[in-house]
Amino acid sequence: MRLVSNSWVDGDRIPARFAAGRRDGQGVGFSDNLSPHLAWSEIPQGTQSFALICHDFDVPSRGDDVNKADREVPEDLPRVDFFHWVMVDLPATLRSLAEGEFSRGFTARGKSGPATLHGARHGLNDYTGWFAGDKDMGGQYFGYDGPFPPFNDSLVHHYVFTLYALNVARAPVEGAFTGAQVRQAIYPHVLAEATYSGTYTLNPRLIG
């Protein structure tokens, strides 16, 4: 199976319009947060649906130094996954997602879900946990919300979009499911998978 995009070149820096955060005159702020174009081909026989996950595997495991102007997040700090997009039940006949089709702008308290376009279902992304307890931003964040890495991180972050071809029409998850739950639930049903990636940073030292 093959996954492509015309939003940026595989492995290159993700344009700011697809990110949740960008640098501005005041430092950093919210960006256009457009969901990217994705298209796929070479589908295995027996595919009944697709699942899509986007995750960043460079997220600091501790927040002590995050977004502090007087220091950087250490490069050797252990890193964890942060899920930016979780979607299941994309129909087997579908072959592409248009740029901006699932997200245009950042929605305080999160986009609605789980029901979404094409009869698919969105899971929660990890901004749900990031904003938990925030009186203005706290809520359930369904669907796509793009990169907004710490502005002082010493590492450039990597974002991986993974499309899975499944042998079931409905993924075995219910309710407000997470990326980790989808990974575990679909594992026995994966016929093939393909990835497309990009990088992003808000650290002026790394932008160059």
Whole-angstrom distance, CA of residue 166 vs CA of residue 162: 13
**Is 207 among the domain residues?**
no
Q: Which residue, 125, 200, 148, 156, is CA-closest to 29?
A: 148
For residue 36, is pLDDT > 80? yes
Amino acid sitting at position 129: G
**Is 132 among the domain residues?**
yes
For residue 114, is pLDDT > 90? yes
**Is 74 among the domain residues?**
yes
Q: What is the mean pLDDT of the chain?
A: 98
CATH of the domain at 179: 3.90.280.10
CA dihedral 111, 127, 48, 102 (to 10 degrees): 40
pLDDT tens digits for 51-98?
A: 999 999 999 999 999 999 999 999 999 999 999 999 999 999 999 999
Residue 127: per-residue pLDDT: 99
**Is 208 among the domain residues?**
no
Q: Which residue, 190, 184, 187, is CA-closest to 167?
A: 190
- Mean of pLDDT values over 145-168: 99
**Is 160 among the domain residues?**
yes
pLDDT tens digits for 135-151?
A: 999 999 999 999 999 99
Residue 190: per-residue pLDDT: 99
Give the count of domains, the chain. Answer: 1
**Is 60 among the domain residues?**
yes
- Strands 79-91, 121-122: pairing is antiparallel
Q: Which residue, 16, 8, 5, is CA-closest to 201?
A: 16
Residue 26: per-residue pLDDT: 81
Residue 84: per-residue pLDDT: 99
For residue 208, is pLDDT > 80? no
Residue 185: per-residue pLDDT: 99
**Is 180 among the domain residues?**
yes
Whole-angstrom distance, CA of residue 40 vs CA of residue 2: 5
Residue 25: per-residue pLDDT: 80
Residue 167: per-residue pLDDT: 99
Residue 191 burial by Cβ neighbours in a 10 Å radius (0-12, 13-18, 19+): middle
Range of the domain at 126: 2-202
Position 16 confidence tier, pLDDT thresholds 50, 70, 90: very high
Q: How many residues does the chain have?
A: 208
Q: Which two tokens stand for residue 108?
A: 């305080």
- Mean of pLDDT values over 91-106: 99
**Is 16 among the domain residues?**
yes
Q: Which residue, 152, 132, 160, is CA-closest to 11?
A: 160
Q: Where do runs of H (alpha helix) occur along the chain?
A: 127-130, 179-186, 204-207
